[in-house]
Amino acid sequence: MAYSDKVVDHYNNPRNVGSLDKKDPNVGTGLVGAPECGDVMKLQMKVNPDTRVIEEAKFKTFGCGSAIASSSLATEWVKGKTVEEALAIKNTDIVRELSLPPVKIHCSVLAEDAIKAALGDWKKKQGEAEAKPAESATSAH
Amino acid sequence: MAIKLPVYFDNHATTPVDPRVVEAMVPYFTEKFGNAASRNHEFGWKAEEAVENARGQIAKLINATPKEIVFTSGATESTNLAIKGVAEMYREKGNHIITQVTEHKATLDTCKRLEKYGYEVTYLPVEKDGRINLDDLRRAITPKTILISIMYANNEIGVVQPIAEIGKIAKEKGVFFHVDAVQAVGKIPVDVQKDGIDLMSISGHKIYGPKGVGALYVRRKNPRVQLAAIIDGGGHERGMRSGTLNVPGIVGLGKACELCQQEMAAESEKMSRLRERLKESIMSRLDETFINGSMEHRLPNNINISFAYVEGESLLMGINDVAVSSGSACTSATLEPSYVLKALGVGEDLAHTSIRFGLGRFNTQEEVDYVADRVVETVSRLRELSPLYEMAKEGVDISKMKWVAASDSH
């Protein structure tokens, strides 16, 4: 199986690996996927409540190289964006950037889910009621 | 000593052809190119002589007689011929076949096809160690049973089935016994007499012979097994397998069997020593690693390990200068993790983290040490990246968590 250069690069040099304090009211945590499905992503973002800008993003991923690359890329993309801008990121953007083959599209779906789940958690902490639960964020792939 | 990269540890998938085998084959492509079925000239006689010599070399390795060896294009064809051939020939006697769940797809899919044609197939489960339960087998046999098909050793986990015991039961009940011995022949002693085997599939390329050639052992007495052919034509191989014989391939398969016979004892000792070294070196340095399948009843060249919290394909990507296989879903076309590991009761989460190491004749201790270091280093790196490892270290019981899968189609 051949991986694109960008997937290999993210796999070899993953950006923003780590964890943020999940008790911090400004940190949103998204944990999506399932071990029996072969991929689990944890994405955390620290958001400035005044500017709604994502100041920090960290991830940890159990999954194939494409799953690791998708989540690594997601952290790169969300940093510096506002919550609304980050929520507009689509899995298809990730597919395009990483040249993911059809069998790996679910990795990008998971990354989009993780962004939505983390920001949903942040909104809940901020008392914003319209937060959508992660499971309804995406349909199928 | 410097080692050559990439390192090949995937010898259950295929093996390199032994240079001595290549040497034996070469003349049969060029000056001795005859058709073994040409009865009236020197070219044909030379080819026929070579084929008969190979038949003898194979028979000797498995304690059969040369006339009991039928050449095929490979073990998949051998298995198809054995199962379909018996099914058709003995249809009036019965329509029931017994096999087991961790068989190779050549067996499972052949049985599935026969089910479409009205045959009944029992798929025996396996125990946690990967072996069938003999009482299950006894209970499954009915007056309608015509064939038992059980593999000698499994291609993913190397687990060796209780073949001699199964052979005994088959004989008692008057049921034919087919064995897929692709992974076992040439690696451990296989004796069709002692093991009570009636039909046995053999492959060339798993034993340092060429691809595209295999054989089926078909017992000729006590009892005599008759087969309906699945390939019709010129009536080669006693009518059991038509088609011009692949003489160079057959010469190669014969030579490969001869070498296995001569070197099996020493080679098997070397394989277990290297395998133990690999296993120790990896498992003593990493926590939460699990061996899949019985260690006691196992091929000397196999080890299959699950590395909890590290997905198999990402591990393969990290050790990209080492050729091994994973039971991870991501490495399969179906996105399903290994059905073999599932049958053992290995959870899907751990099945995704499994790696199969298959050692072979040309592997060295230096390679073992290199692979072990690469695996330990990559697993450690990926665990740093793994949210599951982090949670496990924090004391979270991952199996009790509620997971939100991304979609419905995993």
Residue A126: pLDDT band (50, 70, 90) is very high
pLDDT of B76 higher than 80: yes
Residue B58: pLDDT band (50, 70, 90) is very high
For residue B294 the two structure tokens come to 């019985």
- The CA distance from B345 to A104, in Å, is 27
Residue A37: pLDDT band (50, 70, 90) is confident
On whether any CB of chain A is under 8 Å from the CB of B397, the answer is no
Q: Using DSSP, state whether A59 is helix, strand or coil.
A: strand
Residue type, B377: E
pLDDT of B163 higher than 50: yes
pLDDT of B329 higher than 70: no
- A68 with B335: Cβ contact below 8 A: no
pLDDT at position B1, please?
64
- The CA distance from B168 to B144, in Å, is 18
Residue B170: pLDDT band (50, 70, 90) is very high
Poorest-pLDDT segment among A137-141, B78-82, B256-260 = A137-141
pLDDT at position B404, please?
67
- The CA distance from A34 to B382, in Å, is 17
As a whole number, mean pLDDT of residues B124-151 equals 98
Q: Taking the alpha carbons of B269, B270, B274, B275 in that order, is the dihedral positive or negative?
A: negative
Q: What residues of chain B lie within 8 A of the CB of A103, using their CB?
A: 330, 333, 335
As a whole number, mean pLDDT of residues B246-270 equals 98
Q: Which residues lie closer than 8 Å to A3 by C-beta, 6 or more apart?
A: A11, A65, A66, B317
As a whole number, mean pLDDT of residues B2-28 equals 97
As a whole number, mean pLDDT of residues A82-91 equals 97
Q: What residues of chain A lie within 8 A of the CB of B317, using their CB?
A: 3, 8, 11, 64-65
Q: What residues of chain B lie within 8 A of the CB of A35, using their CB?
A: 348-349, 352, 388, 398, 403
DSSP string, B21-75: HHHHHGGGTTTT---TT--SSHHHHHHHHHHHHHHHHHHHHHT--GGGEEEESSH
E strands within B150-285? 176-180, 199-203, 214-218
Q: Span A5-130: which CATH code?
A: 3.90.1010.10
Cβ count near B19 (within 10 Å): 10
- The CA distance from A46 to B83, in Å, is 62
Average pLDDT over chain B reads 95
Query: For residue B64, how many C-alpha atoms fall within 13 Å in the half-sphere facing its CB?
Result: 31
Please tell me which of the candidates B309, B311, B317 has its beta carbon nearest to residue A39.
B311
pLDDT of A44 higher than 60: yes
Selected residue with higher pLDDT from A11 and A134: A11
CB A94 within 8 A of CB A3: no
pLDDT at position B408, please?
41
Q: What residues of chain A lie within 8 A of the CB of B309, using their CB?
A: 62
- A141 with B407: Cβ contact below 8 A: yes
pLDDT of A1 higher than 80: no
pLDDT of A125 higher than 90: yes
Q: What is the ipTM of this complex?
A: 0.88
Average pLDDT over chain A reads 90
Pairing of strands A54-62, A39-47: antiparallel
pLDDT of B235 higher than 80: yes
pLDDT at position B328, please?
75
pLDDT at position B144, please?
98
- The CA distance from B403 to B410, in Å, is 13
- A138 with B407: Cβ contact below 8 A: yes
Interface test with A, best of B404, B408, B409, B410 (most A CBs within 10 A): B404
Distance from CA of A16 to the nearest CA of B (A): 10
Please tell me which of the candidates A1, A8, A109 has its beta carbon nearest to residue B407.
A109
Q: Which residues lie closer than 8 Å to B126 by C-beta, 6 or more apart?
A: B100, B101, B102, B132, B343, B344
pLDDT of B410 higher than 60: no
Interface test with A, best of B314, B349, B352 (most A CBs within 10 A): B314
pLDDT of B403 higher than 60: yes
CB B121 within 8 A of CB B171: no
On whether any CB of chain B is under 8 Å from the CB of A57, the answer is no
Surface of B (358-387) touching A: CB under 8 A: 384-387
pLDDT at position A120, please?
96
pLDDT of A8 higher than 50: yes
Poorest-pLDDT segment among B6-10, B29-33, B289-293, B330-334 = B330-334
Q: Using DSSP, state whether B116 is helix, strand or coil.
A: helix
Burial B44-81 (b: 16+ CB within 10 A, else e): eebbbebbbbbbbbbbebbebeeebbbbbbbbbbbbbb
Residue B335: pLDDT band (50, 70, 90) is low
pLDDT at position B409, please?
38
pLDDT at position B405, please?
61
pLDDT at position B397, please?
85
- The CA distance from B226 to B85, in Å, is 8
Q: Taking the alpha carbons of B38, B201, B326, B356 in that order, is the dihedral positive or negative?
A: negative
Residues in chain B, total: 410
pLDDT at position B2, please?
82
Burial A57-89 (b: 16+ CB within 10 A, else e): bbbbbbbbbbbbbbbbbbbebbbebebeebbeb
Interface test with A, best of B306, B313, B394 (most A CBs within 10 A): B313
pLDDT of B327 higher than 90: no
- B406 with A139: Cβ contact below 8 A: no
Please tell me which of the candidates B311, B405, B410 has its beta carbon nearest to residue A64.
B311
Q: What residues of chain A lie within 8 A of the CB of B336, using their CB?
A: none
CB A86 within 8 A of CB A78: yes
- The CA distance from B36 to B160, in Å, is 37
Surface of A (96-135) touching B: CB under 8 A: 103, 106, 109-110, 113, 117, 134-135
H or E segment at B278? helix B247-283
pLDDT of A140 higher than 70: no
Instruction: Return the active site residues of A.
Output: 37, 107
Distance from CA of B154 to the nearest CA of A (A): 24
Catalytic annotation, pick one of B111, B257, B260, B330 = B330
Residue B334: pLDDT band (50, 70, 90) is low
- Domains of chain B, earliest start first: 19-260 (3.40.640.10), 264-395 (3.90.1150.10)
Q: Which residues lie closer than 8 Å to B236 by C-beta, 6 or more apart?
A: B37, B242, B243, B244, B245
- Every domain of chain A and the residues it spans: 5-130
Interface test with A, best of B328, B330, B381 (most A CBs within 10 A): B330
Estimate the crossing angle of helix A5-12 against helix A65-78, to 10 degrees: 80
Task: Count H helices and E strands in chain A, helices first.
Answer: 5, 3
On whether any CB of chain B is under 8 Å from the CB of A34, the answer is yes
Active site residue B330: yes
SS (H, E, C) B287-349: CCEEECCCCCCECCCEEEEEECCCCHHHHHHHCCCEECEECCHHHCCCCCCCHHHHHCCCCHH
Percentage of the residues of chain A whose pLDDT score is greater than 70: 90
Please tell me which of the candidates A19, A34, A61 has its beta carbon nearest to residue B403.
A34
Poorest-pLDDT segment among A35-49, B188-202, B273-287 = A35-49
